[in-house]
Structure 1
Amino acid sequence: MSTPFARKSAMLLACAALLGGCSTTAPTSEETHAYVDDAQKTLAEFMRDPQMTWLQNHVHGARAVMVSPRIWQAGFVFGGSGGEMLVISRNRSGEGWNGPAFYKMGSGSFGLQAGAQETQMVALVMNEKALNSLLSTSFKLGGDLSIAAGPIGAGAGRPVTSDIVIFTRNKGLYGGINLDGTVITIDDGKNQVYYGRTTTPVDILIEGRATNPYSSKLTHTATVGVNAGPVK
């Protein structure tokens, strides 16, 4: 007979599997390219959205941009969120972007929730301290770094001084989910497949030694801002 502790542990593991996508299957080049395409489309939508003027006005002053086309928030008895994201960073000339580097996201919380929802995210990394955190093996949003929800619509004129400014959207509704406490880890598997060799976020985001021409649509979207559209 299973005990309450055993049942709770099993449910927690099931939720973690859903949020973390615990597949052991190695990623393919086609899958990484498809994810970059999804991220580019997400970023373009945010950059054209009239509710996102703060994001559009400040992206060119950001040290890096974090994009996730899909963050899952699950219900059951145990709640949490998880997904993937990629990051592009301002190159040393300040005129373009390096990357992307691939990352995993995950968090867990206790509480009675219902259902599951899918959220899109674009976040601006505003300073060197926050960018350096992305070079470590893992870090937690809201831990050593201050995070804030980005101003939307009429509030876009107010100043924001956080290390990372996060914009989320869930099925057209702004606000999305609370990412405070989310753990970010490097996705070495996807980075290796996408660049064809073992590499690190330092190689990708800082030194620009790892490149892939397939990234041009994504970096173009960040460069042209509100004029972002399909790239031929």
Structure 2
Amino acid sequence: MRTRPNPFATRLAVLLLSCAITTGAVAGERQDGRLLTSTQVLSELMSMPEQNIPTWLMERAYAVAVIPSVIKVGLGIGGRRGKGVLVVRKDTGAWSNPIFINLTGGSFGFQVGVQSADVVLVFTSKQSIEGIVGGKVTLGADASVAAGPVGRQSSAATDIGLTAQVYSYSRASGLFAGVALDGSAITIDSSSNESFYKKPGILASEIIRADAPTAPAPADQFVAAVQRSANGNAPAAPATTPAPAAPAQPPASTADSSAPSGVQTYPLEDPQPGQEPPQ
């Protein structure tokens, strides 16, 4: 005897499958949005010559992280929390696929009254990168951190000497400056990495390795923005449509327009100037 399927169980299975598909799609949109926002933040910061991360520092970076909209949590001493992305420079000089990260805790040196700020971190040592790939780095403990220099400081490379492993920046209310992030922890956002790369349990070491597959779009836009910043190039200007060329004018000629093409004519000289022409 054939058993009839339970209508309720069938509807429940369809509902759960639909929820899973919807959740995956929404999660993917969140990661795409985070990458696009991070790209915009970095491009806007680097487009301000007097208030940006010095090119000499970006050229020496082992990794760069952008955490948009880090928000203030709690009251009093409280802390901060934000989600961002990080890329690591490979031995070839190219940048890795983005790793999704979290930034939590710590006493952030933001301006008084600021509730949200964009944060950029520039890593100048291999040790600090190894810690992140391992799962967690606490700024000020596992890696020394300092407020980064801002603007066109061409001589700062020798004056500062890159004594810190991480240089930190923040932008809030239109102002961009170095910021103290002692005690803040950077951790791997495993769920976002799994959702974006479509691979359960993917490790940060797999994402950044030299033979890693190409990351989905819009990861390439963020990587390109980091590359431009490290090269000292301003963000690419939008393409403009060139004005139509004026129609070519025919060259002036003394030739008789009534003459056949390719034939040139000249007037005869008057043999008796000043006299009446013959009848």
Q: Same fold (TM over 0.5)?
A: yes
Query: Partner of 1:134 in structure 2?
Result: 132
Instruction: Between 72-81 and 183-192, report the one with greater CA deviation.
Output: 72-81
Which of 196, 199, 223 is matched with 1:197 structurally?
Answer: 199
Q: Please show how residues 58-207 of structure 1 align to structure 2 within 5 Å.
A: 58-74=57-73, 76-94=75-93, 96-108=94-106, 117-153=115-151, 157-158=155-156, 159=160, 160-175=162-177, 177-198=179-200, 199-207=202-210
Query: Partner of 1:219 in structure 2?
Result: 223
Where 1:197 maps in the other structure, the secondary structure is: coil
Rg larger in structure: 2
- How far off its partner does 1:122 sit? 1.4
Between Structure 1 and Structure 2, the one with more strand by share is 1
Q: 1:79 and 1:114 mapped to 2: Cα distance?
A: 13
Between Structure 1 and Structure 2, the one with more helix by share is 1
1:66-118 CA-partner distances (Å, limit 9, x unpaired): 11111112452342111112101112311x21120011111056xxx985511
Over the matched positions of the two proteins, sequence identity in percent amounts to 25
- How far off its partner does 1:230 sit? 6.6
Instruction: Between 202-211 and 96-105, report the one with greater CA deviation.
Output: 202-211
Instruction: Between 205-214 and 195-204, report the one with greater CA deviation.
Output: 205-214
1:149-171 CA-partner distances (Å, limit 9, x unpaired): 11123766432321111121111
Q: Aligned-pair RMSD on alpha carbons? A: 2.6
- How far off its partner does 1:64 sit? 0.7
Where 1:30 maps in the other structure, the secondary structure is: helix
Q: 2:213 and 2:127 mapped to 1: Cα distance?
A: 22
Where 2:208 maps in the other structure, the secondary structure is: helix
Query: Partner of 1:43 in structure 2?
Result: 42
Check 1:120–1:140 CA distance in 2 against 1; reply closer, same or farther (3 A cut). Answer: same
- The amino acid across from 2:203 in the alignment is T
- How far off its partner does 1:174 sit? 3.0
- How far off its partner does 1:58 sit? 2.2
Q: 2:163 and 2:84 mapped to 1: Cα distance?
A: 23
Contact 1:75–1:114, Cα closer than 8 Å, also in 2: no
Contact 2:228–2:234, Cα closer than 8 Å, also in 1: yes
Where 1:84 maps in the other structure, the secondary structure is: strand
Contact 2:119–2:168, Cα closer than 8 Å, also in 1: yes
Check 1:189–1:231 CA distance in 2 against 1; reply closer, same or farther (3 A cut). Answer: farther
Check 1:65–1:154 CA distance in 2 against 1; reply closer, same or farther (3 A cut). Answer: closer
Query: Partner of 1:29 in structure 2?
Result: 28
Check 1:191–1:173 CA distance in 2 against 1; reply closer, same or farther (3 A cut). Answer: same
Question: Larger relative contact order (C-alpha < 8 A, sep ≥ 6)?
Answer: 1
Q: How many residues align?
A: 204
Q: Which runs of 5+ in 1 are unaligned?
A: 1-24
TM-score by length of 1: 0.78
Q: 1:144 and 1:151 mapped to 2: Cα distance?
A: 21
TM-score by length of 2: 0.65
- The amino acid across from 1:153 in the alignment is G
Where 1:139 maps in the other structure, the secondary structure is: strand
1:96-144 CA-partner distances (Å, limit 9, x unpaired): 21120011111056xxx98551111111111111111111122201102
Q: 1:155 and 1:123 mapped to 2: Cα distance?
A: 18
Check 1:219–1:79 CA distance in 2 against 1; reply closer, same or farther (3 A cut). Answer: same
